[in-house]
Amino acid sequence: MRAVMYGAGNIGRGFVGALMSRAGYRVAFVDVDRELVARLNAAGEYTLRVIGAEGHQDTTITNVHAVDGTREEEVVQAVAECDLMATAVGARILPRIAPLLARGIQRRFAAGRPPLNIIICENLMDANRVLESLIKDYLTPEEQARFDREVGLVEASIGRMVPVQTDQMREGDPLRVCVEAYAFLPVDKDAIRGDIPPMEGLVPYSPFDYYLRRKLYLHNMGHAGCAYLGMYLGKAFIYESVGIPGVELLTRTAMAESIAALSRKYEVPAKELMDHRDDLVYRFHNKALGDSCARVGADIPRKMASEDRLIGAARLCQSQGIPPVYIALNAGAALYHYLCDEKSAQDEDSARQALLSLSGLNPEDELALLILRFHRLFAQGAPLDELIRFAREEKHRLVGPVV
């Protein structure tokens, strides 16, 4: 069996490519980093190091090679001949690889190859629709119809945390990838064409919309909020931020709001989601990962978009009748850091304009007003205790007495 892992970075080598190799696939990593390609081809293997509080465990990932992503003919042939494929290149790179994917798929059609599933490991909502549109631009109407029947664009929820690899993590081995122990890969069961690929850790699920929202509005939202609070308090790493009791309290409570909304919308038991939250927070404490607040909090405009982790989670709460007070606190922190990055004034007019531009919220929306109230506290340099007290009072005001 042959597999193509398009992207040999942290997720490609540190997660999905490793799962493919362990499942018995001969894995071809496609990447434009020529030095990395040369090293993989010379070694034919690499080390995957699982790190945690108790130390680390090394595993050798074998039966791998690499293809130079600039050698178009080799890439097209690899796509044409493989039995399974995945992408982890970044959303902005998908338009660049779509023509090669289309040519490889056309060659598969001509050769009468069986259906192909492409697991999409991109941090992008509706990634399947985006990639479908990009590929179909290069196909004829007849090929597009066959594409719908024979190519599965399978969205995945990437829960494994793989930090930026430092020289200390590599310890002289440039191919080593350090990861956390979590290694489940939920995928969209309904999108799979033919048989489900035989991979340990693969979790086919339907309806997959729930998993996508759970990942974005629970994991990513809590992670981002922890990062912004850590940055506000002068902490460099996620484990330092969540190690502050007040930050852990705010993180858990914001995640509880998402739990309530997800449970109500998808009719999933709250306990299942609470257990997942507790596991996530435990993983945030993993000092060995060395995951930085700056990395987790990067690209604020994307994270503040209307359907992304902060505003999207808050809007889901609103749709389910749950006041998203603690999520709004996270969004207020993100807005504060965005204005810092833009070297803009932290006054109310600048904050309002930035928030509306980033999120698309109505200026009179209760959510927008709440975020701006939290931003004002951050701009004033409010201590953590004051942020907690204000959030508690706002929550009581919006929920009211409970019998």
> For 12-50, what is each residue's pLDDT tens digit?
999 999 999 999 999 999 999 999 999 999 999 999 999
Secondary structure tally for the chain: helices H, strands E? 20, 11
Tell which wins on pLDDT, 67 or 54. Answer: 67
- CB-based contacts of 271, cutoff 8 Å, min separation 6: none
Neighbouring-strand partners of residue 237: 292
Q: Residue 33, exposed/middle/buried by CB under 10 A (0-12, 13-18, 19+)?
A: middle
Distance in angstroms (rounded) separating the CA atoms of residues 240 and 13: 27
166 band by pLDDT with thresholds 50, 70 and 90 = confident
Distance in angstroms (rounded) separating the CA atoms of residues 95 and 87: 12
Distance in angstroms (rounded) separating the CA atoms of residues 318 and 325: 10
Query: Hey, how many other C-beta atoms are within 10 angstroms of the C-beta on 187?
Result: 26
User: What average pLDDT score do residues 350-357 get?
Assistant: 96
Domain ranges of the chain: 2-206, 209-399
Spatial CA neighbour of 121 closest among 22, 18, 259: 18
User: What average pLDDT score do residues 174-193 get?
Assistant: 93
pTM of the model: 0.86
User: What average pLDDT score do residues 203-207 get?
Assistant: 91
- CB-based contacts of 95, cutoff 8 Å, min separation 6: 134
Distance in angstroms (rounded) separating the CA atoms of residues 64 and 261: 43
CATH of domain 2-206: 3.40.50.720
CATH fold for domain 209-399: N-(1-d-carboxylethyl)-l-norvaline Dehydrogenase; domain 2 (1.10.1040)
Distance in angstroms (rounded) separating the CA atoms of residues 341 and 22: 42
Q: What is the dihedral of CA 218, 219, 221, 222, to 10 degrees?
A: 100
